[in-house]
Amino acid sequence: MQSSQTEDSRLDVVRTVRVAASSARTSATDPEALAAALKQQAGALGFAPVGIASASQPRRVPLRTAALQRWLDQGHQAEMAWMADPRRQQIEALLPGVRSVLAVGLNYYVAAERQPGSLAIARYGWGRDYHRVIDQRLRQLGRWLEAQCPGLRWRACVDSAPLLDKAWAEEAGLGWIGKHSNVINRQHGSWLLLGHLLMTLDLPADQPAEALCGSCTACLDACPTGAIVEPFVVDSRRCIAFHTIENRADTLPAAITSAMAPWVAGCDICQEVCPWNRQPPSSSDSATAPRPWVLNLQAGEALGWSDQMWDEQLRASALRRIKPAQWRRNIRSLG
């Protein structure tokens, strides 16, 4: 009920913004006014930060695309074959005629901590499935934009789409890609879930974000498996998050199991030590609120979940990516 009320109130805000931005129809030929109205709508939907990138003349994306290819050539993707999808390097394949990209961030940091001795779950999995949340809000934004510009084509993308999402977020000025490979924003740190709205119209682009990691190596030094093999390069074959979520084998490598405690679903270590995450703002969005069991998940209890219990506890959760067999494997791997 609380979630429904929150969504209703958000829709009320959007309706208010729609009235305030009603001039967008008459100013559809004014790209700056339309871009401002679009960003205002995105903010009303709970997104912050928000930025726009040019899909026709990107400045940083070509460099990031080349870096992706080097990463793939070195085998750092492990079994994630979808990372080599050629559309990831050709945004036009996702939306022919794309001219601009709206990048949005959703703060998922909640000022709460797990109980001592409990199992650890990456913060992105505490609340509702962010894929659904971001996709639904972006689609609402796309429909609003289409009403202002009849004939416009658009596509909503979350990280399940073959889009170089972090690169486009950097291009749109949301933040820079840090040495741990996550996007870092000055105000929100790296606790941001990303979404993109591809559009077939030209809008004024924001400046790409400047990197501010400097000489800091906190994330590299803290990774217990040495997965950040060099600044900005994460080898998935060494990454706890990859193995607890994507690895479908019956057993995990010894190098992972010896270092993964207490993580059973993802890993936030490289973000927890980042100086830009020292005082992040806490999200008040109901979609990011932790499920009741997340902060005090005990190994014995979780290991005893039946498949039906697992289904009930992880309903509408991004953690459903981890199947019951892998869920139990991860818990047993802690010893």
* Catalytically active residues, by annotation: 159
10 Å Cβ neighbour count for 325?
Answer: 11
CA distance 230 to 238: 13
Point out which residues pair with 100 in neighbouring strands.
54, 199
CA distance 179 to 275: 12
CA dihedral 55, 61, 63, 67 (to 10 degrees): -130
Residues 6+ apart with CB under 8 A from 10: 44, 45, 46
Residue with tokens 């998922």, as numbered in its chain: 108
According to DSSP H, which parts of the chain are helical? 2-20, 31-44, 61-73, 130-148, 165-171, 218-222, 240-245, 254-257, 269-272, 299-303, 307-313, 324-333
Residues 6+ apart with CB under 8 A from 128: 3, 287, 288, 316, 317
What amino acid is encoded at 100 in this protein?
S
10 Å Cβ neighbour count for 212?
Answer: 13
Tell me the torsion sign for CA atoms 27, 29, 34, 36.
Answer: negative
10 Å Cβ neighbour count for 147?
Answer: 12
Contact indicator for 296, 115 with CB cutoff of 8 Å: yes
